[in-house]
Chains A and B, each alone.
Chain A
């Protein structure tokens, strides 16, 4: 199982659980997350959701490199269309959602965290959008990034593929809090509980509105990303970048 979902009192903790791959997003993790969130949303005993990553090194490093190597110009658009439901499953939650981020949140992992309501990190949290370094267009992530960071920082992050350190993330509003690793879940739960006592109709209508104001931009970005993916994968660049990375790590 790529996603572990367990109850901690009234909070459902959903753990991205592929620690050997830095919790990278493959089809199993994607579908596991969608299923876990649908179950948590439907369960009346669940009052909030915390997302985290297993292993203490990463929340999620982004798109899985084996996925990148296996796609081609014909199959890549479908993969990106599949990410629509992955992010939507977070965006449509009516319950509080907090990301507990110890380590790297990059690419798809960064974006999943940005669609949560609040983010708690540690000193070793690093966040960013390294799609270009991986041979892919930075297209979907720019929707939440623009709303959080403005144009100049979104351009810089997208084009340099650099990751921001925890302090910079806090200043930029990408993290709401930095805490010690052994207090991460406790602080994430406290953040969630700031929201669980709110009147449920007002809370869920506000969350629906939050998703609504970026809905058309998000939908359009998925289409754009699918189009860019067909072009990128036709060049072989993403597959080569993933293979080179795996070779450096001795895992090819």
Chain B
């Protein structure tokens, strides 16, 4: 039986979208990407939705990033399309003319970090960490580099991209990368409350302001996607990402035995 990768639930006027692959740390799979993109694009048009909250199922992760089993299929030919489609998902967050919050129920790595930074607000608990571990996986950090640099400055984008370290919640709060740290059981409720408060503001002014900020960063966002397509292709043509992924899978198999 195949359970839905994305759970949708309306809390009155706020749409809660839960990435539902807890046994895989809510890793980004094709079905997660398609489900999230569709739900976000639909939310923009839905009259019964005033705002959106993204979260992850289970206590461990919002999302640990790219699903490594599916990444086995990436090649120099296919990787560009993957990043274009990922760009469309991020655009669905940054261009949604309604407030979007992320309830960080656990770690946010790679895709998880980036989806969080494209949202309007982020609420975490003290055990949450964020990281940008692409380089360690043999994937150049291009889109993550951009959104971290835009949100919290280039030096920290360089630090996260090149060291791949996990940044604890307290440090993220000092950076203004998250808006609040609350008890784990309060993360979702607090995020919904904050998104609802934003949704209660004059809607046209909110939408116009958010759209204007998206417009001001649009050229950089689009250039970044094109750069990702070009640079990831370059990386995959060397065979390094495939070799790193194969070594990782072999190590995982060895641990299972």
B153 touches A149 (CB 8 A): yes
The 8 A-B residue pairs with the shortest CB-CB distance in the complex, in nearest-first order: A147-B154, A201-B240, A205-B140, A199-B138, A194-B163, A173-B155, A202-B135, A206-B140
A212 touches B227 (CB 8 A): yes
Inside 8 A of B142's CB, which chain A residues have their CB? 206, 209
- The reply to whether the CB of A103 lies closer than 8 angstroms to some CB of chain B is no
- The reply to whether the CB of A92 lies closer than 8 angstroms to some CB of chain B is no
Instruction: Give the interface segment out of B55-63, B106-114, B230-238.
Output: B230-238
Residues of A192-228 whose CB lies within 8 A of B: 194-195, 198-203, 205-210, 212-214
B154 touches A148 (CB 8 A): yes
Which single residue of chain B is at the shortest CB-CB distance from A191?
B163
**How many angstroms from the CA of A191 to the CA of B159 in the assembled complex?**
10
- List chain A positions with a Cβ less than 8 A from chain B: 96, 114, 117-119, 144, 147-150, 171, 173-174, 176, 191, 194-195, 198-203, 205-210, 212-214
Given A114-B155, A205-B140, A199 contacting B244 (CB threshold 8 A): yes
B162 touches A206 (CB 8 A): yes
B135 touches A198 (CB 8 A): yes
- The reply to whether the CB of B83 lies closer than 8 angstroms to some CB of chain A is no
B235 touches A213 (CB 8 A): no
- List chain B positions with a Cβ less than 8 A from chain A: 134-142, 145-146, 149, 152-159, 161-165, 174-175, 227, 231, 234-235, 238, 240-241, 244
Inside 8 A of A149's CB, which chain B residues have their CB? 153
Given A118-B163, A171-B174, A176-B159, A198 contacting B154 (CB threshold 8 A): no
Cβ of B25 to closest chain A Cβ, rounded Å:
21
**How many angstroms from the CA of A191 to the CA of B149 in the assembled complex?**
20
A96 touches B234 (CB 8 A): no
Q: What are 19 A-B contacts defined by CB distance under 8 Å?
A: A118-B158, A118-B159, A171-B174, A173-B153, A198-B135, A199-B137, A199-B241, A201-B140, A202-B138, A202-B235, A202-B244, A203-B135, A206-B140, A208-B231, A209-B140, A209-B142, A210-B157, A210-B158, A213-B145
Select one of A117, A171, A203, A205 contacting B234, CB under 8 A. A205
B238 touches A201 (CB 8 A): yes
A202 touches B139 (CB 8 A): yes
Inside 8 A of A213's CB, which chain B residues have their CB? 145-146, 149, 154
Q: How many A-B residue pairs have CB under 8 A?
A: 96
Inside 8 A of B231's CB, which chain A residues have their CB? 205, 208-209
Cβ of A196 to closest chain B Cβ, rounded Å:
10
B165 touches A148 (CB 8 A): no
Inside 8 A of A119's CB, which chain B residues have their CB? 155
* Interface of B, helix, strand, loop or mixed by DSSP: helix
Given A198-B162, A199-B240, A201-B240, A206 contacting B153 (CB threshold 8 A): no
B161 touches A210 (CB 8 A): yes
Inside 8 A of A176's CB, which chain B residues have their CB? 155, 159
Which single residue of chain B is at the shortest CB-CB distance from A209?
B142
Which single residue of chain B is at the shortest CB-CB distance from A200?
B240
Inside 8 A of A209's CB, which chain B residues have their CB? 140-142, 145, 227, 231
B165 touches A194 (CB 8 A): yes
Cβ of B62 to closest chain A Cβ, rounded Å:
23
B165 touches A205 (CB 8 A): no
Inside 8 A of B234's CB, which chain A residues have their CB? 205
Inside 8 A of A200's CB, which chain B residues have their CB? 240
**How many angstroms from the CA of A144 to the CA of B157 in the assembled complex?**
13
**How many angstroms from the CA of A201 to the CA of B136 in the assembled complex?**
10
Cβ of B156 to closest chain A Cβ, rounded Å:
5
Which of B152, B175, B227, B231 counts the most chain A CB atoms within 10 A? B231
B136 touches A96 (CB 8 A): no
B139 touches A195 (CB 8 A): no
A117 touches B162 (CB 8 A): yes
**How many angstroms from the CA of A150 to the CA of B151 in the assembled complex?**
11
B149 touches A206 (CB 8 A): no
Select one of A173, A191, A195, A202 contacting B156, CB under 8 A. A173
Select one of A144, A194, A201 contacting B154, CB under 8 A. A144
Which single residue of chain A is at the shortest CB-CB distance from B231?
A205
Cβ of B87 to closest chain A Cβ, rounded Å:
16
**How many angstroms from the CA of A51 to the CA of B146 in the assembled complex?**
26
Select one of B135, B156, B241 contacting A206, CB under 8 A. B135
**How many angstroms from the CA of A118 to the CA of B244 in the assembled complex?**
25
Select one of A198, A201, A210 contacting B145, CB under 8 A. A210
Inside 8 A of B165's CB, which chain A residues have their CB? 194
Inside 8 A of A214's CB, which chain B residues have their CB? 154
B140 touches A148 (CB 8 A): no
Which single residue of chain B is at the shortest CB-CB distance from A197?
B136
Q: Given contacts A114-B155, A199-B241, A200-B240, could you give 10 more A-B pairs where the C-beta distance is less than 8 Å? A: A118-B159, A150-B153, A198-B162, A199-B138, A201-B238, A202-B136, A205-B234, A206-B135, A206-B162, A209-B145
